Amino acid sequence: MGDLQQRLQMALDAAHMAIWDSRLVNGQAIEGTVYWSAGGAALLGLPARALSQSFRDFLGHVHDEDRATLLAIMQAGIDQRTGYELQYRVLWPDGDTHWLDARAQVLSDRQGRPMRTLGMIRDITEQRQQMIAIAERQELAEVTLNSIGDGVMTTDPQGKTRYLNRMAEQLTGWSNALAHGRDIRETLQLVDESSGQPLEHVAVKCLQQRQAIGLSSHAQLLTRDGHSIAIADSAAPIWSRDGVILGAVVVFRDVSHERKLSQQLSWQATHDTLTGLVNRREFEHLVASALHTAKEEGHTHALLYLDLDQFKVINDTCGHGAGDVLLQLLAKLLQAQMRDSDILARLGGDELGVLLPHCPLDHARLVGEQLRQSIRDFRFAWDTRTFELGVSIGMVEITQDSKSTSELLVAADQACYLAKEQGRNRIHVYQESDVMLAQRHGEMLWISRLNEAFERDYFRLYAMPIVHLHAGQESHNEVLIRIRNSHGELILPGAFIPAAERYDMMGSIDRWVIRAVCHHIMSVRDSLPPLDALAESCRRTPALYSINLSGMSLADTSLQHYITGQFVQFEIAPEQICFEITETAVIANLPKAQVFMHQLKTLGCRFSLDDFGSGFSSFGYLKALPVDYLKIDGLFVRDIASNAINRAMVKAINEVGHVMGIKTVAEYVENSATLAVIRELGVDYAQGHAVGNVRPLTAGLD
């Protein structure tokens, strides 16, 4: 018997268990006595020796929150003769808390009266702590998953849905309970955003290939209630410690805004924002594709180049707003008369391009004539005036013999030029002999016209106000040049500046403008009564004139000496002169531009960077230049009231300019809506018909 008890005690010690023996009084545990083995006493934190104590004393070791429950469960098991199982906490003398697990049977006398409970008790503190830690980790994981902005779903190895976090429930429309056990392809239904066809599911692909699957860029989620949401999704396997796949986790998020913005940017990269037509870059790409099919498959296409004959007159007399409306109307008019496969593009300003795929030259002539006649019959009304229009059209055939895209575009441009030279409002089909004829004729024509303008003093200066939006009155004008020929016609710079640049005459024109502006300032000063002249000379902010300089002039090392000579001759304060330089001209001549600008800046001249924002390298070069004004490219300004992307661009340029201590000017402010947005964004100056029209500055030089 002793040997059996010893073996039993060894087994209990190995299992970290002890005898739990409670004697009852009148069937009540609370009135009885508890007998502990040495191991049982140790479970209470007491010395490891046999111990007996009243049940009330035993309850003194039990955690306050567990006493009532322990007594109730024990007494119920005694009363029902079923025994009991329970877990409770005890407080050791050193203050530690331990969890005990007790299981006992009820022993009764011959009359069936309960006399004692006898069973086993063991310390389960470590297991409880592990359970609590696991529960806390699970709770933390669930709280984390429910807090993040991404949807998270998990599956079993067969692709059945196991879990959705809160965001996944919101995005899919499925609750955890409804989704559980359903195929992931049902609860996370994915289709291609373009075709609407089901996609190879990211979770299924992940389970099949047993590897992570990266983000897709064209997935769309069909929700439980039938809505569609653009999402970016990815999946990764869930592995057990022994390398078995337990399922997959899918992470996805709503990218509707980002994808819409990306589509807008993509559209803007290939289209003209004013008319909605294809832009020059995309048109050239389409012409290149047409040329490829012509060479590879023998197809024949036609390319048309259209130049509106009266557009500049309308733009100059009625403002850019009128010109914009005219272009929008003409775009709709011409588009309505073309096949779905035909391409109408705006190439810039008043120049349009047409690509007629699979169209022989004879039929292209008919299409071109129809377009010409439609524009000829069109009447444009603005305010109280009505304008008739014409169009000059150059046409070139795209065949297997065509050489390159650039040569096709040049040929169409030259044919259009000849159509204008032959009387305008007509079609000219490109011939090989046109190249030399156009070049020779153009050179002779523009060289003679520009030389005549110098000799006969046909150049005229005009002023476009630059108006401060947030401060007092000040006089600031951009100086513009025109030619008034012998017939009294006013020729805008768009007609002669390209030729002047081509034939190296821009330096002479720039010097003429500089001298004429200095002469004008002196004339205004000399015409004032003595007291007014004195007041003018004492003004802290004298009238400021912005003069445009070409890239050719920036590279002219002798120009600075010419400028200072004019200042001395006409007694001009350098502070009254601001030189406007385009971003592209500065970048093309950066080292010379830096020297030129720093030297004149030392004298007191100011500098304005024109068309700022047209290149993405702008901010990098800006830090190296002593610039006083940034003129924000009109491409971003003109539709800022309705285009969120352009508004953001203007806001960014304005803020960067201000951080660098540079004032900002918005160009092409043509209406009150645009002006209101420009004011709201904090731009310093505005220029355009909404704040002031072009007016003559001087009639020429004496």
Instruction: State the average pLDDT over residues 405-425.
Output: 84
- Do 471 and 543 reside in the same domain of the chain? yes
> Of 412-416, 421-425, 596-600, where does mean pLDDT reach its minimum?
421-425
Residue 629 placed within a domain? yes
3 state DSSP class of 422: coil
pLDDT of residue 33: 92
Q: Are residues 470 and 409 in the same domain?
A: no
Angle at 658 between CA 652 and CA 661, to 5 degrees: 145
Question: CA distances (Å), 95 to each of 57, 98, 294, in order?
Answer: 17, 10, 93
Q: How confident is the model over 103-117, as pLDDT tens digits?
A: 999 898 888 899 999
Flag whether pLDDT at 686 surpasses 70.
yes
Give the span between the Cα atoms of 232 and 278, in whole angstroms.
29
Per DSSP, the three-state class of 406 is helix
pLDDT per residue over 11-69, tens digit each? 555 455 788 888 999 989 899 999 888 888 888 889 988 889 999 999 999 999 999 99
Please, what is the angle between helix 311-318 and helix 320-335, to 10°? 140
Task: Give the model's pLDDT for residue 536.
Answer: 56
Domain boundary among 95, 129, 163: 129
The string of pLDDT tens digits covering residues 478-534 is 999 999 888 788 888 887 887 787 777 889 999 999 999 999 999 988 877 765 555
Mean pLDDT over residues 632-659, rounded?
86
Residue 439 lies in a domain: no
In a domain, 502, yes or no: yes
pLDDT for the residue 585? 77
Please state, in angstroms and rounded to a whole number, the distance separating the CA atoms of residues 366 and 372: 10
pLDDT at residue number 472: 65
Position with higher pLDDT, 547 vs 542: 547
CB 500 within 8 A of CB 450: yes
Indicate if 529 and 670 belong to the same structural domain. Answer: yes
Does residue 347 sit in the same domain as residue 420?
Answer: yes
CA–CA distance, 430 with 418 (Å, rounded to integer): 9
Q: Which of 239, 254, 269 is the last residue of a domain?
A: 254
Nearest Cα residue to 549 out of 627, 633, 608: 608
pLDDT of 136: 62
**What pLDDT is stored for residue 19 in this prediction?**
81
Q: Quick one: average pLDDT of 673-680?
A: 92
pLDDT of 557-588, one tens digit each? 889 999 999 999 999 999 999 999 887 777 77
Same domain, yes or no: 247 and 305: no
Average pLDDT over residues 210-226: 83
pLDDT tens profile 131-163: 776 666 666 666 656 656 688 899 999 999 988
Q: Please calculate the CA angle 489-492-495 and round it to the nearest 5 degrees.
A: 105
Q: What is the CATH number of the domain that holds 210?
A: 3.30.450.20
Closest CA to 488 of 513, 516, 460, 463: 460
What confidence score (pLDDT) does residue 698 get? Answer: 62
- What is the overall mean pLDDT for the chain? 84
Residue 172 in this model has a pLDDT that exceeds 60: yes
- Given this model, what pLDDT does residue 700 score? 41
Residues whose CB is less than 8 angstroms from the CB of residue 104 and which lie 6 or more positions away in sequence, other chains included: 20, 22, 74, 77, 83, 84, 117, 118, 119, 120
Find, among 642, 652, 653, the residue nearest to 677 by Cα. 642
Query: Is residue 465 helix, strand or coil?
Result: strand
Per residue in 276-318, pLDDT (tens digit) is: 888 888 899 999 999 999 988 888 999 999 988 878 778 777 8
Q: Does the residue 450 lie in any domain?
A: no
Whether 699 has a pLDDT exceeding 50, the answer reads no
Q: Does any domain span residue 496?
A: yes
- Is residue 271 one of the residues assigned to a domain? no
Query: What is the percentage of the chain residues whose pLDDT exceeds 70?
Result: 88
Would you place residue 702 in the very low, low, confident or very high pLDDT band (cuts 50, 70, 90)? Answer: very low
pLDDT of residue 616: 46
Please tell me whether residues 295 and 357 are part of one structural domain.
Answer: yes
Domain boundary among 72, 98, 129: 129
326: pLDDT strictly greater than 80: yes
CB 23 within 8 A of CB 32: yes
Q: Is residue 259 part of a domain?
A: no
Tell whether 501 and 553 lie within a shared domain.
yes
CATH (domain of 412): 3.30.70.270
Res 513: pLDDT: 95
Total of domains in the chain: 4
Residue 467 and residue 609 in one domain = yes
- Based on the fold, state whether residues 630 and 482 are members of the same structural domain: yes
Tokens 């090392």 belong to 557
Mean of the pLDDT values across residues 639-652? 87
Q: Which residue has the tokens 């003595």?
A: 530
Q: Would you say residue 138 lies in a domain? A: no
Q: pTM higher than 0.75, yes or no?
A: no
Q: What is the mean pLDDT of residues 405-429?
A: 85
Q: Is the pLDDT of residue 617 over 50?
A: no
Which domain covers residue 692, as residue numbers? 456-698
**Mean pLDDT calculated for residue range 371-397:** 88
For the chain, what is the total number of helices (H) and then of strands (E)? 27, 30
Q: At what angle do helices 644-659 and 256-270 cross, to 10 degrees?
A: 90
Does 496 share its domain with 360?
no
Q: So what's the pLDDT on residue 459? A: 93
Exposure letters 645-681 (e unless 16+ CB within 10 A, then b): ebbebbbebbebbeeeebbbbbbbbbbeebbebbeeb
**Where does the pLDDT of residue 1 fall: very low under 50, low under 70, confident under 90, or very high at 90 and above?**
very low
370 and 490, same domain (yes or no): no
Q: Which residues pair with 343 in a beta bridge?
A: 355
One domain for residues 682 and 537: yes
Distance of alpha carbon 691 from alpha carbon 362, whole angstroms: 49
250, two tokens: 């899918």
Among 20, 98, 38, 34, CA closest to 66? 98
